[in-house]
Structure 1
Amino acid sequence: MSKKWIIGLSILGVLVVIAGIMNATGMLDDVDPAPVEPAAEAPATPSPEEEASEIDTEAAADLAEQSALWDEWEEAAKAEAHVEAVRAVEPAFVADEDLIDRQAGRTVNTCQDIHDGLEGAELTDRVVQRMSGGTATIDAAQAEQLINAMKEHVCP
């Protein structure tokens, strides 16, 4: 398997983990799904207007599918950009797939802190504590770089 595929699959895994954690922590609760209207029964022989409407519905479904694909690619690009931003701050954090998964969890926790209104020195200190130890230790300046990368690429 080529390096690009491995990276792509790693990024997809990170996105799945992030989405799952965001869902579990309630970060996605603010999203209101559009109401679904029940479909009316169609007559046995559709009129020309109904046939045209059917074609429009199929075109809309195709467009929705393309839009969903685009959203997946856009999210993968954001995750890849975030991994690269983290690598620029401290390469040890994303040296292999397990560390990328660990970084994803730490990123989600930091996004939750941001969502909860934590900011300034308190947020920076928490990121220094959260990220330091194990594979690397960071300082406040590096924590600020990571926070900015999270806000740009990952946190809503």
Structure 2
Amino acid sequence: MVPSIAGLYLVAGIGVAVVFTAFASHSAMQEPTAEAARLILRDWESKYSCGPAYFIGGRQATYGVGIEAGRDVTALAYREIAGATWYNDDKLRRGGAVVMDTDPEFKERMARFLPGKAYSAESKVSIPLKRTWTGKRFVFPYRFIAPQGCSH
């Protein structure tokens, strides 16, 4: 009797796990960062002949997309700018940056962490989440700080 109950619980547990994995949405773990990087960089390259040097903004999406953007790009959260020895304002000026931020306080953050930097109007890419059948999409808003070290 005990083995059959254990088997029933095992089968039920596997069924719940499969249904949960297939249909539940775990946005943070399913962000399509590689596709977002590809689309954002395509937009960047249509406007500028160099850069970007940085992906800057809120932590999660900025790190994920910035890492996927390639070896020449440094991903930084706003709060890291002041203390990061690898942040260089001249590099930002020459190569520009992609700023990713969904926060309503975007302008205040820019004034605090990147004072005096001009940025473009917001653009967005909307991409389906990975590993789910829900059809849910993840929106990546971004702005550009134009590079000064190359042609536009």
Q: Tell me which interval the TM-score lies in, with the shorter structure as reference length.
A: 0.3 to 0.5
TM-score by length of 2: 0.36
The structure with more helix, counted as a fraction of residues? 1
The structure with more strand, counted as a fraction of residues? 2
Bigger radius of gyration, 1 or 2? Answer: 1
